[in-house]
């Protein structure tokens, strides 16, 4: 059976057009709702390419988009236009565009999870569930990653190329580097991403959005914390402690790192659907 096709769409953000993808369930199939997947730092809609068709085959309308200033989306050149409130405003606007009358399932990867959790706290009635995928607590001291303040200095001095040089060196040393084709795409994507986006995200992370987990825990939206246990930028014990704080279910991808959505999309898909059906 051929997979449902991915269709490019244009969504409207508060600072311009947002490049998106949508995959629709097969004609005549049961419709189970809408899913929105939000990428993280240096990411894009392509991070979910392996999951979208699976979700559609299971009856879900699946949508993703490049956040403001990422890859193919519009974005200002002013760093101050990349505050957390700006990313959240875009997300909530996208939700209203893709599902104006019904709440949706939300999946946020890494920094996309930071944006997603704030959106859920602000408008919990618009969401059926929230999944935080490789997206740890709102702190900076437990990151297995260069401190955001140092990355800001690096990007301000050397731009997107300097960031890519550091990231590609880290991936080469990880023992599990992406394929040459994937590396080429990732490098091109960073170079096309606004410098202000990269600095803005790192600045927003330093402001520790929702460091107190109680508003998320009390929002009334079912939560799932899903993560790889090998080489993520948060260690498994950090993810587990965070899940307990917010009363979330967990899903673990053994042998996967920071991008289980790319490493093991079938497993991530299966856990998402199981979680959603449990909440029905």
Query: Is 232 contained in some domain?
Result: yes
What is the pLDDT of the chain when averaged over all its residues?
95
Answer yes or no: is pLDDT of 172 > 90. no
Coil, helix or strand at residue 235 = coil
Whose CA is closest to 232, among 89, 88, 109, 149?
Answer: 109
Compute the average pLDDT of residues 177-186. 92
Query: Is 160 contained in some domain?
Result: no
Query: Is 39 contained in some domain?
Result: yes
Compute the average pLDDT of residues 16-20. 98
Residue 87 lies in domain: 7-145+210-279
What pLDDT digit, counting tens, does each position of 254-278 carry?
Answer: 999 999 999 999 999 999 999 999 9
Query: Is 256 contained in some domain?
Result: yes
Residue 136: CATH number of its domain: 3.40.50.1820
Compute the average pLDDT of residues 77-101. 98
Q: According to the model, what pLDDT value does residue 50 have?
A: 97
* 2 pLDDT tier (thresholds 50, 70, 90): low
Q: According to the model, what pLDDT value does residue 150 have?
A: 92
Query: Is 26 contained in some domain?
Result: yes
What's this model's pTM, rounded to 2 decimal places? 0.97
* 76 pLDDT tier (thresholds 50, 70, 90): very high
Compute the average pLDDT of residues 229-239. 95
Percentage of the residues of the chain whose pLDDT score is greater than 90 = 86
Answer yes or no: is pLDDT of 141 > 90. no
Query: Is 188 contained in some domain?
Result: no
* 138 pLDDT tier (thresholds 50, 70, 90): confident
* 176 pLDDT tier (thresholds 50, 70, 90): confident
Answer yes or no: is pLDDT of 1 > 70. no
Query: Is 141 contained in some domain?
Result: yes
Q: According to the model, what pLDDT value does residue 108 have?
A: 98
Into how many domains does the chain fold? 1
Percentage of the residues of the chain whose pLDDT score is greater than 70 = 99
Answer yes or no: is pLDDT of 216 > 80. yes
Query: Is 215 contained in some domain?
Result: yes
Cβ contacts of 85-91, under 8 Å, gap ≥ 24:
86/14, 86/15, 86/200, 87/115, 87/204, 88/115, 88/118, 88/119, 88/122, 89/13, 89/14, 90/13, 90/14, 90/15, 90/18, 91/36, 91/38, 91/115, 91/116, 91/119
Q: According to the model, what pLDDT value does residue 96 have?
A: 98
Whose CA is closest to 191, among 40, 44, 6, 17?
Answer: 44
The conformation of residue 69, written as its DSSP 8-state character, comes to: T
């Amino acid at each position: 059976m051929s997979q449902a096709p991915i269709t490019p769409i244009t969504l409207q953000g508060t600072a311009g057009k947002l490049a998106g993808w949508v995959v629709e369930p097969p004609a005549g199939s049961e419709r189970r709702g809408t899913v929105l997947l939000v990428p993280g730092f240096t990411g894009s809609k392509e991070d979910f390419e392996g999951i979208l068709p699976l979700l559609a085959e299971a009856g879900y309308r699946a949508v993703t988009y490049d956040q403001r200033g990422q890859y193919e989306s519009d974005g200002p050149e002013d760093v101050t236009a990349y505050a957390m409130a700006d990313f959240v405003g875009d997300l909530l606007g996208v939700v209203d565009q893709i599902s104006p009358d019904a709440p949706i399932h939300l999946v946020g990867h890494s920094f996309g999870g930071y944006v997603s959790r704030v959106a859920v706290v602000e408008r919990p009635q618009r969401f059926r569930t929230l999944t935080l995928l490789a997206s740890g607590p709102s702190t900076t001291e437990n990151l297995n990653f260069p401190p955001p303040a140092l990355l800001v200095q690096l990007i301000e001095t050397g731009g997107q190329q300097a960031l890519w040089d550091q990231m590609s060196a880290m991936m080469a040393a990880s023992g599990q580097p992406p394929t040459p084709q994937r590396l080429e795409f990732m490098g091109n994507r960073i170079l096309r991403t606004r410098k202000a986006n990269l600095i803005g995200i790192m600045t927003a992370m330093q402001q520790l959005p929702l460091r107190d987990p109680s508003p998320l825990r009390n929002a009334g939206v079912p939560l799932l914390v899903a993560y790889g246990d090998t080489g993520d930028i948060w260690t498994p014990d950090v993810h587990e402690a965070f899940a307990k704080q917010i009363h979330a279910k967990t899903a673990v991808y053994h042998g996967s790192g920071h991008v289980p959505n790319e490493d093991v999309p079938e497993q991530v898909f299966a856990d998402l659907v199981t979680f959603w059906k449990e909440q029905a």
